[in-house]
Amino acid sequence: MSAAIALTWRQYRLERKMFWRNPSAAFFNFVLPLLFLFLFGAIFSSNQADLDVIVPGIAGMSVMSTTFVALAMNMVFLREQGVLKRLRGTPLPSGAYLGGLAAHAITNTAIQLSFVIAAGALFFGVGLPASWLMLGVFVAAGVVCLGSLGVALSHAIPNFDSAPAYVNAIFLPVIVISGVFYDADNAPSFMRDIAEVLPLTHLIDGLSAAMVTGAPFADQLSDLAVVLIWAALGTVLAVRGFSWEARRG
């Protein structure tokens, strides 16, 4: 057990080093959500009610970008470049390698959320989270849910060149429909119906309760249940469709 943990830690450190050597990845994971936050924060600076919606919305978007987007892209790249296939012939346990990737994504999520929470408290009048426990529970559930869905999506992407199109075709509509930039309750009824099915909507609702409204945890159990149902579905699809080898003909 200790050897497996040590190997996972070494792989995690390697993933962190490679990440910071890729400026475009760092930009998408950290800078882009903050740009959206400050852009929309400036637009709605005179309306605290809108700011109370945007800050947890950007927090939810950050979870999705650092898990769903990052893992979908990374898994396709690793599979199509033959990294996963070569890994099978090395002494490194598969669990240690995949554990390092997962820990890397979780670290990015934690860093990004820290930036969003700090910005919300310092610049947008949101204050620190009313319930750190609820925040932690929803973030953990969101990471598992969106991370597993990202891995599951990677199975459907035929090659890395098409990965951005596949990922953005889901990511961009989801963040718009789920109410990242506005109160989803004010959207047209057909959009609200779609939003109610999406896990990001319920993740944002949970983050909003934890960060802004201070609503009781019991009131958010239905939101948590939807996120966990999607997490279970994503996990099943991620495991069943996983392939170590490239799928090019």
Residue-level pLDDT at 194? 93
Residue-level pLDDT at 245? 78
Residue-level pLDDT at 11? 87
Residue-level pLDDT at 247? 66
Question: pTM of the prediction?
Answer: 0.91
Residue-level pLDDT at 109? 92
Q: How far apart are the first and last CA of the chain?
A: 39
C-alpha to C-alpha distance for 150 and 101, rounded to whole angstroms: 13
pLDDT, averaged per 10 consecutive residues of the chain (249 residues), comes to: 83 85 71 87 87 94 93 90 81 82 90 93 90 95 96 92 94 93 84 94 96 92 97 94 72
Residue-level pLDDT at 248? 57
Q: Are 66 and 142 within 8 A, CB to CB?
A: no
DSSP state letters, the chain? -HHHHHHHHHHHHHHHHHHHT-HHHHIIIIIHHHHHHHHHHHHTTT-HHHHHHHHHHHHHHHHHIIIIIHHHHHHHHHHHTTHHHHHTTSSS-HHHHHHHHHHHHHHHHHHHHHHHHHHHHHHSS--S-S-HHHHHHHHHHHHHHHHHHHHHHHTT---GGGHHHHHHHHHHHHHHHTTSSS-GGGS-HHHHHHHTTSHHHHHHHHHHIIIII---GGGGHHHHHHHHHHHHHHHHHHHHT--SS----
